[in-house]
Structure formats: structure tokens, C-alpha cells
Copies of this chain bind each other. A is one copy, B any other.
Amino acid sequence: MIAEIIAAGSEMLTPHRQDTNSLYLTAQLNELGVQVAFKTIVGDNLGHLTGAARNAIARADIIIFSGGLGPTEDDLTREAAASALGVELRRDNTILTDLHKRFAARQMAMPPNNAKQADVLDGATVLPNPNGSAPGQIFDTTVDGFRKIVILLPGPPGELKPLFLQLVKPVLAATLPPRHIARRMLRMALIPESQVDARTAPIYKRHEDIETTILAGHGEIQLHFIAAKSTAIEAQARVDELAGLIEAEMEEAIFSSQGESLEEVVLLMLGLRHLTLAAAESCTGGLLASRLTAVPGSSRYFLGGAVVYSDQLKTTFTDVPAELVATEGPVSEAVCRALAEGIRRRTGASIGIGITGIAGPTPGTGPDAEKPIGLVYVGLADGRETRVKELHLTGDRDRVRWWASQHALELIRLSLLELQSF
């Protein structure tokens, strides 16, 4: 069984908007064991849409339309599907009554246009849509001796997703062989994708029944494993076995084996050790704090800190000696060390982080004038010792800032790994 997804809407043929429903639908169909073989994006044009529908019915077994079920002249999915299938549209009185009720509830008369939302492919099952005025439809038919399942869904994701999940997926599952899916994801930070692949490919390639995907970006590598088996237990056992072998190979490079983000892992590890954290950020300008505080409940372990963007504030909030900034430059190992120690002392946190660097695009000034863009120092003070990492990052301002915050999180994680939790 192969599927085609047709996204209807002229806005998705502009440079500004993209079809995203198909990503959700693809994930759902894959779980059922159905591969998506084609995606078509077509505008609000009856000829174009009907042609696309004809092609899809000829080449796919399951055809899902998203969008084009609204009340306007541009909403043409019903007409196109009917024409391509060679069936009539009949006006459904139950839907029509519901539509009138929706408008009455808002004390409005229904415009005549809206009645077309009650048009149903003759023989289709109506999928009531509690989140909008356009119901979906599922039409199970035979064309030239082949079974074709044609599904019409409204375009807004908040309507399409629950309709698919609650009313379409069970119908498709009932017609397909039973399949149970298990997934695992392992996450690593700051390690080259090529190195991960070189070390893990010999392992995951021995598990051909498990689909392995490596995704890389923003200083992180994700390894996704998906197994499909006839029982849920068997599927879970397979992905767990592979994940265990990869964990044994990559060891502490893996920060998360259940999908948690690096921020979440750091906060969790702080919690397990009854420790608190504070940060003094110069070049990242609050990015590290913002990432940590985006996690619900972070306030228990992250106290806050200072954004010491100006030289003056480095002294005001973290007691960095003004002479040190003047002689070494704000971007220096000594200032980074003083930031980490200063913020720890001033906030009373168990761990203090200091970050200072040149994010670009313009170079530093004064003693920093000759230092390269991308030079960043990340420091961690925990009361026993202060360690400072010197980084030479590449890329634009956003990338340097992001990677600096990523290095800070990874430095905290590795430092906490050394401390027993209790």
C-alpha cells in the first residue's frame, strides 16, 4: 500500500508558506506501515486540483487531501475529488443542520456559500469535525479493480490532526496487517556527525529490521531508532537492544537516552545532586539563561544570573576587577574565570558559569582588538576548582552564540557526571 498526500492551497505555492501537515500525516502513516510515495502541492484551481487527484488515484492506494474544504469559491477539494473519482456530490442534511446551528449559536445567519461544506462524495463516510465547520470524509472504493481509499481532511492542523488520529487512523489500521511501533532516540552534543556515524554504523547496520536515522544540527546529534513488529513488546525489545549497544559504544557522549533535551538533563542532574546554578553571560547575552528557564520547573535549580554585556556590569554584578578587564581584555581566560567565580559568590549558587567571547560580526576593541571572531571562553566554578575552556567557534553571530551556550551546558553536564548523585 502506498500513499499520496495532496495539499490544496495557493498560499503553499508562494515563497512564504509551506505544507507542514504532510510531515504529521507521514509519521502517522509510517506507523501503520504505509509509505508515502508522493506529495503534491497544488493551488486553488479546479482544473489543476482535479488533474492532481486523477494522477494520485492512478498511482497510489491511499490518497489524503488536506485543505480546500472551506466555504469559499477557492475551496475546491470536494469538487475535484468527485470529478476525478467520477462520483456525484450529495448535500448531507445532517451536516447542513449542524452548520446552521453553528451560525445560530453566534446569532448569525449562515451565508448561502457555506452550504457547500455539506457536500459529500456519494458513498463516503462523514468525519465530524468538532474543531471547525468543515467535516472530513473517507471514501473507500474500487477503481479499475484496485481498492482506493480517498480521504478529505480540513487544512488547519488543529482540525486535521485530531480528525486523523481519532477517525481515520483506526479505520486504516483495521484494514492493514497489525503492526506495533517502538521508538528510541539517543542524543549527543558537540560531537561530529561523521564520528558518530563511523562508530555506530557497524552496530546499527547489523539491525536491518530497525530503521535508523541520524539527524544533526545546532551542536547536537540525534540517533532515531524505529522498529515495527507484530507485538509491542517485541518492537520495544528490539529498539532497546540496539540503543543499549550504541550506548555501550558512545558511553558518556550520550546525554539523553529517553529524548530529554540537554537543558532538561542538566537541570535533572542538578536536582539529583541538590545543587543550584547561576550564570554570568557576556557574548551569549542571556541565551544560556533563556534556554534553561524555558524548561518548566527550572526555577528550583537555576537561580538566575547576570547579563554582563558592558565591561562596567562585569564589575557591578560579578566583581571582576576593572584592571583585569583593562589589561587582559573582556574576552580572556582570566575574566572568564572571574565571571564564573564572581557569579557563584554573589548568587550563592553551587555552580557558577561564566561566558565571554567575540560573537562577531565586528571584532573586539581595546585589548581584544587582535583576538579572532569566534574566540569564546566558557568557565565553571564549583568551589573546589574553576575550569575554563577556550573555544574557537566558526559561523555567524547566531551560531557562535548558540554553540557557546551548548558548550556551557555540556561543560556543566560533564562536570556533574564526576559528582556522585545521592
* Residues on B with beta carbons closer than 8 Å to the beta carbon of A310: 299, 303-304, 347
Which residue of chain B lies nearest to A222 when distances are taken between CB atoms in the complex?
A: B16
A36-B13, A308-B304, A310-B303 as given contacts; A290 in contact with B293, CB under 8 Å: no
Q: How far is the CA of A361 from the CA of B298 in the complex (A)?
A: 12
For the complex, give the distance between the alpha carbons of A402 and B278 in Å. Answer: 22
- Complex contact B26–A347 (CB within 8 A): no
Near B by CB (< 8 A), chain A positions 290-348 give 290, 292-294, 296-299, 302-310, 312-313, 316-317, 346-348
Q: Let me know if A274 is at the binding interface, CB within 8 A.
A: no
| B397 engages A296 (CB within 8 Å) | yes
Chain A interface, >50% SS class: mixed
A309 to B30, CA, bound (A): 43
Q: Does A389 contact B (CB under 8 A)?
A: no
Give, as a whole number of angstroms, the nearest-CB distance from A375 to chain B: 16
| CB pair A40 B43 closer than 8 Å | no
Cβ of A59 under 8 Å from chain B:
yes
Closest B residue by C-beta to A278: B313
A284 within 8 A of B: yes
Q: Determine the residue in chain B with the shortest Cβ distance to A26.
A: B15
List, in ascending order, chain B residues with CB within 8 A of A398's CB: 294
Which one of A48-56, A79-87, A197-205 is at the interface?
A48-56
Whole-angstrom distance between the alpha carbons of A145 and B51 in the complex?
21
Report which residue of A16, A309, A313, A397 has the largest number of chain B beta carbons within 10 angstroms of its beta carbon: A309
Q: How far is the CA of A36 from the CA of B9 in the complex (A)?
A: 12
A306-B304 in contact (CB<8A): yes
Known contacts A18-B23, A303-B309, A313-B304; decide if A362 and B292 are in contact (CB<8 Å): no
A113 located at the interface, meaning its Cβ lies under 8 Å from any Cβ of chain B in the complex:
no
Q: Bound state CA distance, A290 and B213, in angstroms?
A: 32
Please tell me if the beta carbons of B307 and A286 are within 8 angstroms of each other in the complex: yes
Q: Residue A360 at the B interface, CB < 8 A?
A: yes
Size class of A's contact patch? Answer: 35 or more
Is the CB–CB distance between A289 and B285 below 8 Å? yes
| Smallest CB separation, A259 vs chain B (Å) | 14
**In the assembled complex, how far is the CB of residue A346 from the closest CB belonging to chain B, in whole angstroms?**
6
Query: In the complex, A144 Cα to B303 Cα: how many Å?
Result: 72
A39: contacting residue among B41, B290, B360, CB under 8 A: B41
> A215: which of B16, B306, B346 is its contact (CB, 8 Å)?
B16
Quick check: B37 and A40 within 8 Å, CB to CB?
no
Extra pairs beyond A16-B215, A303-B309 (17, CB < 8 Å)? A13-B35, A37-B42, A38-B43, A38-B48, A40-B41, A48-B59, A51-B55, A279-B307, A285-B289, A285-B292, A285-B294, A289-B289, A289-B307, A296-B360, A296-B362, A307-B307, A313-B347
Interface residues of chain A, those whose CB is within 8 Å of chain B, are 12-16, 18, 20, 23-24, 26-27, 30, 35-43, 45, 48, 51-52, 55, 59, 213, 215, 224, 278-279, 281-290, 292-294, 296-299, 302-310, 312-313, 316-317, 346-348, 360-362, 397-398, 401
